[in-house]
């Protein structure tokens, strides 16, 4: 446990110091890493802790982004107020759609979340009068106190993402979080000890969607615009990639994955347009050669760095350690 | 809205449904036998379209070029699919669901960029032979004569597949493998070889569908991202591993798209996803699937 906080503290200190050292381009990349890291961490609440793969998580990210965008552009609501409202709207949509999703498991869960994700995408895409259709929304300008430079918005993002990550950590280590692990490991037994599995899964789905919505809300003002592509299934693949790259079996895995993925993307796209090809090869190599992701590899090679003491470790039958 | 234009709309829906059927039949077969949801299926479909363009281009001076390029596209795509199965997919049958999805998703990304690298970004156009350029009139409704060819070719493939599954020994093995791979393996049938050939057959169908699609309009990059999701919807509606289900599912999706574009164009895809979600909620195994599968 001590070592885990140690690792998190190192990451946080790096995040504070780096923007003063690196050029402004990389400050933008760092902002992106944080936003997508929160998005991936929220995805991992469903994937890592609940054991279900969602392929439509970008829908809630997009709903968050659009809520902020619409409120700021059309109603002049201050940005700080739009953040909780984005979480609320993403959570409400998740309550409605998740109600059906949590009835299914495995591949059917994945396909239904994807179908709902595409539903949201096409609604946003076609509703020109409200969402701007495929033009998206432009002119989402961050408030004055964050200025025009890269650093203030970066630190604002850092604060929001840190609060979000701490909230997710507290949730995942609460009795509720351990109930999720129990459902992941054996839903039937969990039902037998008197837990309403579907209700707990729905609650977790809503929580995950709310934090995805928060991440989305940070994206709009950062990018000055939102587009419907934020919600489609290609975008839903991104948190899956990040989580698997970083390590789905540890809390900070998705954030580390986001750092690796976004850094690679920024580097590779600067000299070739064939990023999909490169990323495809990387993901295949990661899945085939290091199934535990980056943190899994570190854990395997340097076990003293990240010793776990919380007694929840469970091997999944293939020698891999789960949380 | 008179009856002729409704009929035209119906036939154009039937045409699109036929293409969807050819794509989704392979997807459904592969999922039914190996439990692999192949994200790369539509990329191979698009590759089939480009292959058919290349073959047609190479043989342009011959009159048979147009007709031959379509099955050749199927075989070329099948070769890529075979390679993909032997090199990559074989390693992931026993892996977790998310790993399988990520691998096929990555292959889709790689194939899309490979297509871009090989054929470039300009759109490709196949010129149809004289006899398929004029519209034909059916009950007074003008209809693209190529659509008739698409529907007939699709029907022939559907009948061929049905015959294969119903009357041949290998068809029986494939059908049995949809129910229980373990049992088929226990009977001494080499499952790994069956996997390879089912996968290759599925990709052949996708490539063939690409070859048939190519002369309808021009071939453009990114055509595959829309059709893969529609093919998923078809397979979900019809039920994984059921040929009949795929046929009915693709006709439903084709016709719904065709008619909603007439009355409510913005809602076409929304309606498809509402139907898909409703089927998943009420009958996750689809209209013609079987709930026995685990």
Inside any domain, residue B285: no
Interface probe with A: pick from B94, B253, B277, most Cβ of A within 10 Å? B277
pLDDT of residue B159: 94
The nearest CA of chain A is from the CA of B32 a distance in Å of 13
The arithmetic mean of pLDDT across residues A6-21, rounded, is 88
pLDDT of residue A318: 38
Inside any domain, residue B245: no
Domain range list for chain A: 2-322
Inside any domain, residue B23: yes
pLDDT of residue A248: 84
pLDDT of residue B75: 96
pLDDT of residue A311: 34
pLDDT tier at A323, thresholds 50, 70, 90: very low
3-class DSSP state for residue A314? strand
Interhelix angle for B41-58 vs B3-34, to 10°? Answer: 110
Residues of chain A contacting B90 with CB distance shorter than 8 Å? none
Q: Give the architecture (CATH level 2) of A2-322.
A: Orthogonal Bundle (1.10)
Kindly report which listed range (A144-153, A241-250, B280-289) carries the lowest average pLDDT score. Answer: A144-153
pLDDT of residue A2: 54
Contact present, A209 and A98 (Cβ < 8 Å): yes
Across the interface, whether the CB atoms of A280 and B101 are under 8 A apart is answered no
Q: Is the pLDDT of residue A138 over 90?
A: no
- Total number of domains in chain B: 1
The arithmetic mean of pLDDT across residues A30-40, rounded, is 95
The nearest CA of chain A is from the CA of B241 a distance in Å of 14
The arithmetic mean of pLDDT across residues A17-21, rounded, is 89
Q: Is the pLDDT of residue A315 over 50?
A: no
Point out which residues pair with B143 in neighbouring strands.
Answer: B136
Partner residue facing B273 (CB), from A100, A118, A244: A118
Q: A245 — contact with chain B (CB < 8 Å)?
A: no
pLDDT of residue A128: 84
- Which residue range is the domain that position B210 belongs to? 17-223
Q: Is the pLDDT of residue A319 over 60?
A: no
Contact present, A70 and A81 (Cβ < 8 Å): no
The arithmetic mean of pLDDT across residues A176-201, rounded, is 91
The arithmetic mean of pLDDT across residues A143-170, rounded, is 89
Inside any domain, residue B88: yes
Kindly report which listed range (A72-76, A139-143, A226-230) carries the lowest average pLDDT score. Answer: A139-143
The pTM of this model reads 0.90
pLDDT of residue B136: 80
Contact present, B286 and B239 (Cβ < 8 Å): yes
The arithmetic mean of pLDDT across residues A187-201, rounded, is 90
**Chunked mean pLDDT (size 10), chain B, 294 residues:** 80 91 93 88 94 90 85 95 93 87 93 92 83 77 83 92 91 86 87 92 95 87 87 90 91 92 83 91 84 56
Inside any domain, residue B215: yes
Higher pLDDT, A321 or A269: A269
Inside any domain, residue B57: yes
pLDDT tier at A199, thresholds 50, 70, 90: very high
Across the interface, whether the CB atoms of B98 and A53 are under 8 A apart is answered yes
Across the interface, whether the CB atoms of A116 and B269 are under 8 A apart is answered no
The arithmetic mean of pLDDT across residues A258-275, rounded, is 92
pLDDT tier at A3, thresholds 50, 70, 90: low
The arithmetic mean of pLDDT across residues A40-50, rounded, is 93
pLDDT of residue A4: 66
- The helix or strand, by DSSP H or E, that contains position A34, with its residue range, turns out to be helix A24-44
3-class DSSP state for residue A286? helix
Query: What is the 3-class SS of chain B, one letter each residue?
Result: CCHHHHHHHHHHHHHHHHHHHHHHHHHHHHHHHHCCCCCCHHHHHHHHHHHHHHHHHHCCCCCCHHHHHHHHHHHHHHHHHHHHHHHCHHHHCCCCHHHHHHHHHHHHHHHHHHHHHHHCCCCECCCCCHHHCCEEEECCEEEEHHHHHHHHHHHHHHHHHHHHHHHCHHHHHHHHHHHCHHHHHHCCCCHHHHHHHHHHHHHHHHHHHHHHHHHHCCECCCHHHHHHHHHHHHHHHHCCCCHHHHHHHHHHHHHHHHHHHHHCHHHHHHHHHHHHHHHHHHCCCCCCCCCCCC
Q: Is the pLDDT of residue A310 over 60?
A: no
Which ipTM score applies to this complex? Answer: 0.87
Interface probe with A: pick from B97, B267, B270, most Cβ of A within 10 Å? B270
Higher pLDDT, A158 or A303: A158
Provide the mean pLDDT of chain A. 87
The nearest CA of chain A is from the CA of B169 a distance in Å of 30
């Amino acid at each position: 446990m001590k070592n885990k906080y140690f690792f998190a503290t190192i990451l946080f200190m790096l995040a504070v110091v780096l923007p003063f050292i690196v050029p402004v381009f990389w400050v933008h990349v760092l902002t992106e890493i944080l936003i997508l890291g929160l998005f991936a961490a929220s995805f991992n609440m469903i994937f890592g802790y609940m054991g279900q793969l969602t392929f439509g998580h970008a829908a809630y990210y997009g709903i968050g982004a659009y809520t902020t965008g619409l409120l700021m552009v059309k109603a002049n609501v201050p940005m700080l107020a739009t953040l909780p409202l984005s979480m609320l709207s993403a959570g409400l949509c998740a309550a409605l759609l998740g109600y059906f999703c949590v009835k299914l498991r495995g591949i059917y869960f994945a396909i239904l979340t994807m179908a709902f994700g595409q539903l949201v995408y096409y609604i946003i895409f076609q509703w020109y009068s409200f969402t701007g259709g495929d033009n998206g929304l432009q002119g989402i300008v961050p408030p004055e106190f964050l200025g025009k430079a890269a650093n203030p918005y970066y630190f604002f993002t850092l604060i929001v993402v840190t609060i979000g990550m701490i909230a997710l950590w507290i949730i995942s280590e609460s009795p509720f979080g351990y109930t999720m692990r129990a459902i992941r490991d054996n839903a039937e037994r969990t039902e037998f000890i008197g837990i309403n599995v579907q209700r707990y899964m729905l609650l977790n789905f809503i929580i995950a969607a709310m934090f995805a919505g928060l991440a989305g809300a940070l994206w709009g003002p950062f990018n000055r615009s939102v587009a419907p592509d934020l919600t489609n299934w290609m975008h839903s693949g991104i948190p899956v990639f990040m989580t698997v790259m970083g390590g789905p079996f540890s809390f900070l895995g998705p954030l580390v994955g986001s750092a690796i993925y976004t850094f690679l993307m920024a580097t590779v796209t600067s000299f070739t347009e064939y990023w999909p090809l490169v990323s495809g090869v990387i993901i295949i190599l990661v899945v085939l050669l290091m199934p535990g992701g980056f943190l899994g590899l570190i854990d395997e090679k340097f076990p003293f760095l990240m010793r776990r003491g919380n007694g929840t470790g469970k091997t999944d039958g293939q020698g891999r350690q789960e949380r | 809205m008179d009856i002729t234009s409704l009929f035209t709309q119906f036939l154009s829906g039937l045409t699109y449904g036929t293409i969807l059927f050819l794509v989704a039949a392979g997807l459904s077969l592969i999922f039914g036998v190996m439990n692999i949801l192949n994200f790369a299926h539509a990329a191979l479909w698009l590759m089939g379209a480009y292959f058919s363009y290349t073959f047609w281009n190479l043989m342009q001076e011959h009159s048979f070029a147009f007709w031959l390029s379509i099955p050749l596209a199927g075989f070329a795509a099948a070769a890529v699919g075979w390679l993909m199965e032997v090199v990559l997919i074989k390693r992931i049958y026993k892996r977790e669901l998310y790993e399988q999805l990520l691998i096929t998703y990555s292959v889709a990304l790689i194939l899309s960029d490979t297509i871009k690298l090989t054929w470039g970004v300009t759109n490709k156009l196949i010129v149809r032979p004289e006899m398929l350029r004029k519209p034909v009139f059916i009950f007074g409704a003008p209809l693209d004569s190529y659509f008739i060819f698409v529907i007939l070719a699709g029907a022939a493939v559907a009948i061929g597949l049905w015959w294969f599954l119903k009357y041949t020994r290998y068809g029986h093995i494939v059908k049995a493998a949809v129910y229980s791979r373990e049992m088929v393996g226990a009977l001494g049938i080499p499952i790994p070889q069956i996997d390879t050939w089912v996968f290759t057959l599925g990709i052949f169908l996708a490539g063939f569908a690409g070859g048939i699609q190519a002369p309808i309009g021009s071939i453009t990059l990114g055509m595959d991202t829309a059709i893969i999701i529609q093919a998923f919807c078809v397979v979900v509606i019809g039920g994984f591993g059921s040929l009949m289900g795929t046929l009915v599912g693709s006709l439903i999706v084709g016709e719904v798209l065709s008619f909603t574009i007439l009355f409510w164009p913005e809602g076409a895809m929304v309606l498809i996803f509402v139907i898909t979600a409703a089927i998943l909620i009420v009958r996750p195994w689809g209209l013609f699937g079987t709930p026995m599968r685990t």
